[in-house]
């Protein structure tokens, strides 16, 4: 996005440097990373960065407003009653497209957001690997608000562990089969937090436990990586294990399962900002409650709580929308035109930036700290798509300071 910086990076690029980058990324692990890593980071200028910070701050203020809990009560599935929900989650991630704006400008457009952790550890490793393999311009950083490698890691550690020295675990479904397993392993290694499969937990007198190497441990704090939508695709054994969480007492959550629902595509219709596309709950459209006609060709249709782009209808029709049996769990979101502004040797690419927001206990606010970036040449953003192309895949953005 900064032509001189992009041209300089492309000129110094060689496949040997890319292979070195991949080797550094994969070195800590027994098995290679299971998704494509892009050849390049994305370089973001000060203007676009300021726009990101502005809309991100608007969203954080919406979430921290006193009215937020009452506005999102209906997002939580009926019957899900897990105790211990804090008023606010420890972390939020927000996805923005690098999109076409009016008059040929480039601007961010909100795609979705999650009250759920992301690749917080892996992105630090990715930064280290990039800067070992390539020559980088001065005055650029993937970190925001003055954070650097060590201060970011310290903040991440405090987010996961809290400040009460409680026994903390990383909870996931079949963790070593996940595409995100390398992030889990880095978190375990760097923070000394064990990875525990949902199948391993058990209840004794309303307290949760697991065993490791024959030793029993009581679980006091959970760094929660269980995606509820994925849980619903598992066997009854896993669903029954999840039900143990409804009986467990004295658990701190990062983040509580309810936050996965509250801070999600559910709130997109409630937001109003120039960098946030218009959105409507599908059930309101079907029941003629919008007070206006919508041209479906201008919208995409998304499940509220799916992950990884699953179930998205890029070109919904009345016929396809009418096949949806739970319209209360879907939204119509106005289409965003991704800007193909990343010049690469194999043609221009598009990108989406995920900002990491951590709750700062000292100042009582969310702070943008780091990011994850995904690059594509196809119609869908995500590391599972277009994996045969080049100059696409998982990446990170460097912001002009």
221 three-state secondary structure: strand
Q: 235 — phi, psi (to 5°)?
A: -70, 165
Write the DSSP symbol of residue 103.
G
Q: What is the pLDDT of residues 344-358, one digit of tens each?
A: 999 999 999 999 999
Nearest to 295 by CA among 331, 330, 332, 258: 332
pLDDT value of position 332: 97
* Cα-to-chain-centroid distance, residue 150: 22
* Cα-to-chain-centroid distance, residue 337: 21
Q: Among the residues of 2-83, which ranges form H helices?
A: 3-12, 15-26, 46-64, 68-71
For every residue of 71-105, DSSP letters joined together read: HTGGGSPTT---S---SS-SEEEEEEEEEE-GGG-
Non-local CB neighbours of 398 within 8 Å, separated by 6+ positions: 41, 42, 43, 44, 136, 140, 141, 142
Burial (0-12, 13-18, 19+ Cβ within 10 Å), 103: exposed
Q: What is the pLDDT of residues 46-59, one digit of tens each?
A: 999 999 999 999 99
Q: What is the pLDDT of residues 252-270, one digit of tens each?
A: 999 999 999 999 999 999 9
Is the pLDDT score of 293 beyond 90? no
DSSP H/E element including 81: none
pLDDT value of position 139: 96
pLDDT band at 388 (very low <50, low <70, confident <90, very high): low
Tell me whether strands 202-204 and 207-212 are parallel, antiparallel or unpaired. Answer: antiparallel
Four-CA torsion 223, 150, 115, 367, nearest 10 degrees: 140
pLDDT: is 196 or 307 the higher one? Answer: 196
Is the pLDDT score of 383 beyond 90? no
Could you state, in order of their start, the residue ranges of all structural domains in the chain? Answer: 3-277+336-400
Nearest to 359 by CA among 232, 253, 249: 253
pLDDT value of position 201: 98
Write the DSSP symbol of residue 92.
E
Q: What is the mean pLDDT of the chain?
A: 95
31 three-state secondary structure: coil
pLDDT value of position 291: 78
- Supply the pTM of this predicted model: 0.95
pLDDT value of position 379: 72
Tell me whether strands 330-334 and 42-44 are parallel, antiparallel or unpaired. Answer: unpaired
Burial (0-12, 13-18, 19+ Cβ within 10 Å), 3: exposed
As a whole-number percent, the residues of the chain with pLDDT over 90 amount to 91
């Amino acid at each position: 996005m900064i032509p001189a910086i992009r041209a300089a990076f492309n000129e110094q690029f060689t496949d040997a440097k890319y292979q070195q980058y991949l080797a550094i990324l994969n070195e800590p692990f027994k098995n290679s990373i299971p998704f494509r890593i892009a050849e390049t980071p994305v370089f973001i200028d000060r203007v676009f960065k300021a726009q990101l910070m502005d809309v991100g701050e608007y969203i954080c203020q919406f979430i921290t407003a006193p009215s937020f809990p009452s506005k999102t009560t209906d997002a939580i599935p009926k019957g899900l009653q897990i105790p211990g929900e804090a008023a606010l989650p420890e972390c939020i991630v927000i996805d923005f497209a690098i999109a076409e704006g009016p008059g040929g400008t480039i601007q961010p457009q909100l795609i979705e957001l999650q009250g759920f952790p992301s690749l917080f550890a892996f992105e630090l490793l990715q930064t280290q690997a990039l800067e070992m393999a390539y020559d980088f311009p001065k005055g650029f950083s993937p970190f925001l608000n003055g954070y650097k490698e060590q201060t970011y890691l310290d903040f991440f550690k405090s987010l996961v562990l809290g400040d009460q020295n409680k026994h903390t675990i990383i909870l996931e479904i079949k963790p070593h089969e996940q595409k995100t397993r390398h992030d889990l392993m880095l978190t375990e290694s760097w923070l000394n937090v064990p990875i525990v499969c949902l199948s391993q937990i058990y209840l004794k007198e309303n307290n949760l436990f697991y065993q490791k190497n024959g030793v029993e441990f009581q679980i006091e704090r959970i760094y929660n990586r269980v995606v509820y939508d994925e849980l619903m695709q598992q066997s009854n054994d896993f669903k029954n294990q999840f039900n143990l969480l409804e009986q467990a007492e004295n658990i701190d959550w990062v983040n509580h399962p309810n936050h996965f629902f509250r801070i999600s595509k559910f709130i997109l219709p409630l937001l109003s900002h120039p960098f946030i596309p218009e959105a409507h709950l599908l059930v309101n459209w079907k029941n003629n409650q919008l007070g206006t006609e919508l041209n479906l060709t201008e919208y995409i249709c998304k499940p509220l709580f799916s992950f990884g782009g699953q179930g998205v209808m890029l070109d919904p029709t009345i016929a396809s929308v009418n096949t949806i049996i739970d319209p209360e769990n879907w939204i119509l979101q106005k289409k965003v035109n991704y800007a193909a502004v990343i010049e690469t040797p194999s043609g221009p690419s598009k990108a989406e930036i995920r900002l990491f927001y951590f709750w700062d206990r000292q100042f009582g606010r969310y702070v943008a700290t780091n990011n994850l970036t995904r690059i594509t040449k196809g119609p869908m953003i995500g590391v599972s798509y277009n994996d045969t192309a080049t100059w696409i895949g998982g990446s990170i953005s460097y912001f002009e300071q």
